Chains A and B, each alone.
Chain A
Amino acid sequence: MLSCQERLVESQLRIDYNQTGFAIAVLFSGDFESQYQIKLKGKKSSVLGEFILNRDEIIFTPIIPFSVGENYEVFKNGKLYKEFSISKPENQIQPKVIAIHPYNDTVPENLLKMYFVFSKPMQQSQPILNFITVTNCLTNKTEDIFLSLENELWNTDHTELTLWLDPGRIKQGLIPNEKLGIPIKKDNIYEIKISKKLTDAEGVELDKEYIKKIIVSERDTKSPSVNNWKLTIPQERTKAPLKIVFNESLDAFLAQETIQVFLDENKLIKGEFKLSKKATSILFVPNVLWKKGRYKIVIESRLEDLSGNNLNRLFETDLQAKQSYRTSKTKVIEFVIQSSFSLKN
């Protein structure tokens, strides 16, 4: 019994698709005595999988689903018996690039990493850098600015990709820096192109080619300082957002996971953070109305700016040198919400 969707391809041959659109089996009429083989058209080797005979029907389940756009042949006792192809799923949804961080056009010369967010889980078989090209618009030459890693940095859903600009080239004094120079240079403009040929996990291509231009400004040599952040404090008995304005763009992913708001000493205020597009400010909307009282914003020191400088130290810091800087796991900003009554009076 087949519980999944079946599509009629031609008389006496059907393809079984699962709910996510993968072609997981082929079914055709057959008998017990004959030998069957499934081959990718034009190839010598048989496709590995399992054959099952159900009454007069042969069911072949390959180890991995048949590939979209490929043609297959069924051989019976060594002779071509049937052919089939895997067409693109109906109502196919093409993956999109839904965000690239940093959002800004202008980035520091020592930019450390970029994030690419996709609308669907993406393919895992080919190196991502096969699909991303970077061109220096001034020289019109393609350049390798991203660090190639054997194990790429994807989230578990395979929808978010982190690409590092080679830290060894950014850190001054290291061999890659001396040998190859920094990945992106001040006053240059780079065009980062994501090919339309990049596919999702189902083999469906991106809806279009994506281009992100970055203009390179000077090196960022300062750690973010929470002392420079500006707050817009909401009023009591409202759900107005608490606005925190950083004095620069921060790492978009870290900014959303390193900040918490507490009432009094340690009562965590639950709510939702919303980062601005350029990651220069964040809004916090509590789940319940603000109460009067003393609040503190606790920020984990691992929060970084675009150049990997965190709240404790610069990316360039030599961790083995005698510490001339003060470290702490968190930084704190305090604020008070006063009684609306007392404000009016």
Chain B
Amino acid sequence: MKKIICTFSLLVAILVTVAAANKTENSSLTENFITGNPNIKSIYRLSFGPEGILFIGDSDSATIFALDTKDNIAKNKPENIALDSFDEKIASALGTTVKNINITDMSVNPISKNVYFSIQTKNGTPVLLRLTNGKLENVSLNNVSYAKTTLTNPISKSPKTKGYYAHRRWAISDMKYYNGKVFVSGLSNKEFSSSFSSIPFPFNNKQDFSTLEIYHAAHGRYETNAPIETFDITTIKGKEFILASYTCTPLVLFPIDKLENGKHIKGRTVSELGSGNAPIDIISFKKGKELKFFLSNTDTPVKRINLSDIIDFKGSMTKPVVTRELGRKVGGVKAVNLPYVNVEQMDKYDDNNALLLIRSEGHLSLQNRSL
């Protein structure tokens, strides 16, 4: 039995990526990686680190996988993307129809600008696809170079807590690589369930774990159970902060230096972006001298928030908000609504463009936009 590689463009693409692999072969980040089947059970979150390393959040096994995609040929000026019925395109590439797939996350490789999609299929098999020059390719999850680390205190899925184990999917709600660490938000098995982990990368079996508490001004109470939905990392006056967004929709700052192992940390709520809504993704762009954050949402348009406004907001929201904007309770740092609605996935495409997966007339379109 021999593979007829030369006749099939799909496998040619694999050869191309193997050729690209040479670039990171001697990288210290991947020297402890092993090759084989990582046995990934689910993919709910994707996030790129350096050198084309893709972090995969597998809530089912409460594990973060670092995948060496070997996709690290730089592209400085990526092509425009405007693909209508993109969900149909993915379904066709998988030999099925839209009703049998669910796109769970999207991440742009900041080096190659290739776009990665995690797909949940009807029987739960996780699939990872890559969009390269308008063509979809499969990224094998069977024979890859990878490393992994398991979260220390994930929310349980044991039968003992049957009434609650369905929450296991929230073990990893978001993750980001920053300065040699993978930061992970989610739900833990602790009394204060909302948690945050910082994990040194390359993985070395160490991780710092903190539980979180916020004042939810739209609810008028302190809360510990809801997980961070999405977060970014920013620097304010030389100090690093997690800018975390929660459902319904508080925006909260946590100083990274306070996130010590075993500590329970109270965040500083700086904004209520509107009740009855959940954030999806947060990204940032530098526009002139000003850093601006962009937040996509389930029930509201994409919102823009200026870092300078966050810096100028000195206090912490500790009282219920009563002001309403379009029926939703808002307060604190102001956000501007942008004309982008029904954005189901969002990531940074290049220094000026965001990549948006937008639901329109029942289908998903993929397009880059300068926000």
* A positions within 8 Å CB-CB of B: 22, 32-36, 38-40, 43-54, 58, 62-67, 70, 72, 121, 123-126, 150-156, 158, 160-162, 168, 173-176, 179, 199, 201-203, 251, 253-254, 256-257, 302, 304, 318-320
Contact = CB atoms under 8 A, between A and B. Distances in A.
B120 A125 contact: yes
Contact of B8 (A36, A54, A173, A257): A36
Interface of B: 1-4, 7-8, 10-11, 44, 59-60, 89, 92-97, 99-102, 120-125, 127, 129, 136-138, 157, 159-163, 165-170, 218-222, 248, 275-276, 278, 298, 327-329
Given A126-B102, A203-B122, A320 B10 contact: no
A38 B328 CA distance: 50
Contacts of B248: 168, 175
A158 B166 CA distance: 10
Given A40-B96, A50-B3, A175-B219, 4 more contacts: A48-B136, A62-B94, A179-B276, A254-B163
B125 A64 contact: yes
A156 B165 contact: yes
A291 to B, nearest CB: 27
A48 B97 contact: no
Given A64-B121, A175-B276, A52 B4 contact: yes
B95 A72 contact: yes
Given A67-B97, A251-B163, A201 B138 contact: no
A158 B124 contact: yes
Interface of A is mostly: loop
B112 to A, nearest CB: 19
B97 A176 contact: no
Given A67-B96, A203-B100, A257-B161, A48 B166 contact: no
B192 to A, nearest CB: 11
A125 B101 contact: yes
Contacts of A123: 100, 122-123
A185 B69 CA distance: 53
Contacts, number: 165
Most buried by B among A34, A47, A150, A158: A150
A65 B100 CA distance: 11
A49 B123 CA distance: 17
A245 B31 CA distance: 62
Contacts of A50: 3, 10-11
B97 A70 contact: yes
Contacts of A70: 95-97
B95 A44 contact: no
Given A33-B7, A158-B124, A168-B248, A44 B1 contact: no
A35 B92 contact: no
Contacts of A254: 162-163
A257 B159 contact: yes
B279 to A, nearest CB: 11
Contacts of A304: 163
A243 B170 CA distance: 37
A202 B2 contact: no
Contacts of A43: 92
A35 to B, nearest CB: 5
Nearest to B5: A51
A13 to B, nearest CB: 16
Contacts of B276: 175-176, 179
Contacts of A63: 94, 127, 138
Contacts of B161: 257
Contacts of A302: 163
Given A151-B169, A253-B162, A48 B122 contact: no
Contacts of B165: 155-156
B3 A53 contact: yes
B102 A125 contact: yes
10 contacts: A46-B93, A48-B136, A121-B123, A124-B122, A151-B170, A175-B328, A176-B275, A179-B327, A202-B123, A257-B160
Given A48-B10, A155-B166, A253-B163, A40 B92 contact: yes
B218 A35 contact: no
Contacts of B220: 173
Contact of A154 (B44, B122, B166): B166
Contacts of B169: 151-153
Contact of B127 (A54, A64, A158, A174): A64
B181 to A, nearest CB: 25
B4 A62 contact: no
B7 A199 contact: no
A124 B7 contact: no
Contacts of B120: 124-125
A123 B137 CA distance: 24
Given A22-B123, A175-B218, A201-B124, A162 B96 contact: no
Nearest to B141: A63
Contacts of A121: 123-124
A53 B327 contact: no
Nearest to A203: B122
